[in-house]
């Protein structure tokens, strides 16, 4: 029965246990850890919410009947027996282990805490995310409102550098310095 309940939870992402609560499978999105250069994959996580008013649905009983090879009425009976047994175990021992899913522990009042059995994280290891720079690869670059290829931009930038020519600022400074020196010599010679 536990394996069938686990399959149902994985297939339909929701499992309701009357007078106890609801298990659900949620997808935690992937994330990029830029500082450690790691890419964490998206993982499914089993969550539990205490809900005394929830009822099992017909789809669950039909699934259990088909999976275990029994009639729908027999699956309803076995499920109700399991639910009753689970409620009694939680009341007497304070915890109940659902094989393949996790452990329910009774907290104060009628609330339950859930601890997943196996961390699915171990099946989805982090991937290294190193930056790859390709010098000769062509890609599009947005310049103002236009998109251009990286090759076009490289040609345009290299043309601008050639059009400027070599930087000869020091020649102008030298000429001005000589003119200034000549003006001083002329001034002292005439006065």
34 and 102, same domain (yes or no): yes
* 143 in any annotated domain: yes
- Note down the domain range covering 41: 2-128
How confident is the model over 30-46, as pLDDT tens digits? 888 888 888 888 888 88
25 and 107, same domain (yes or no): yes
Burial class (CB in 10 A: 0-12, 13-18, 19+), 167: exposed
Percent of the chain whose predicted confidence (pLDDT) is above 90: 26
Which pLDDT does position 132 carry in this prediction? 77
Residues 13, 8, 20, CA angle at the centre, nearest 5°?
Answer: 75
* 111 in any annotated domain: yes
* 182 in any annotated domain: no
Q: Residue 84 is encoded by which pair of tokens?
A: 């009753």
Which pLDDT does position 124 carry in this prediction? 73
78 and 154, same domain (yes or no): no
Contact call for residues 121 and 99 (beta carbons, < 8 A): no
3-state DSSP of 10-59: HHHCEEEECCCEEEEEEEECCEEECCCCEEECCEEEEEEEECCCCCCCHH
How confident is the model over 129-182, as pLDDT tens digits? 787 777 777 878 888 888 888 788 888 887 655 555 667 888 999 999 999 999
**Which pTM was predicted?**
0.61
How many domains does the chain contain in total? 2
How confident is the model over 99-136, as pLDDT tens digits? 878 888 988 877 888 888 876 666 777 888 787 777 77
How confident is the model over 64-97, as pLDDT tens digits? 999 999 999 999 999 999 989 988 888 888 888 8
Q: Residue 52 is encoded by which pair of tokens?
A: 């005394």
As a whole number of angstroms, the longest Cα–Cα distance in the chain is 126
H or E element at residue 89: helix 72-92
């Amino acid at each position: 029965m536990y394996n069938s309940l686990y399959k149902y939870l994985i297939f339909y992402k929701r499992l309701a246990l009357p007078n106890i609560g609801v298990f659900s499978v949620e997808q935690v999105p992937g994330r990029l850890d830029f500082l450690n250069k790691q890419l964490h994959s998206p993982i499914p996580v089993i969550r539990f919410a205490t809900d005394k008013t929830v009822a099992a649905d017909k789809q669950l009983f039909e699934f259990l009947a088909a999976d275990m090879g029994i009639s729908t009425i027999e699956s309803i009976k076995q499920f109700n027996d399991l639910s009753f047994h689970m409620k009694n175990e939680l009341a007497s021992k304070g915890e109940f282990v659902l094989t393949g899913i996790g452990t329910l522990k009774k907290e104060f009042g009628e609330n339950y805490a859930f601890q997943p059995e196996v961390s699915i994280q171990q099946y989805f290891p982090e991937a290294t995310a190193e930056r790859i720079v390709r010098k000769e690869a062509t890609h599009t670059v947005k310049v103002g409102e236009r998109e251009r290829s990286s090759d076009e931009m490289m040609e345009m930038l290299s043309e601008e550098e050639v059009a400027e020519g070599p930087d000869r600022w020091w020649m102008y400074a030298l000429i001005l310095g000589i003119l200034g020196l000549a003006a001083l010599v002329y001034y002292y010679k005439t006065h």
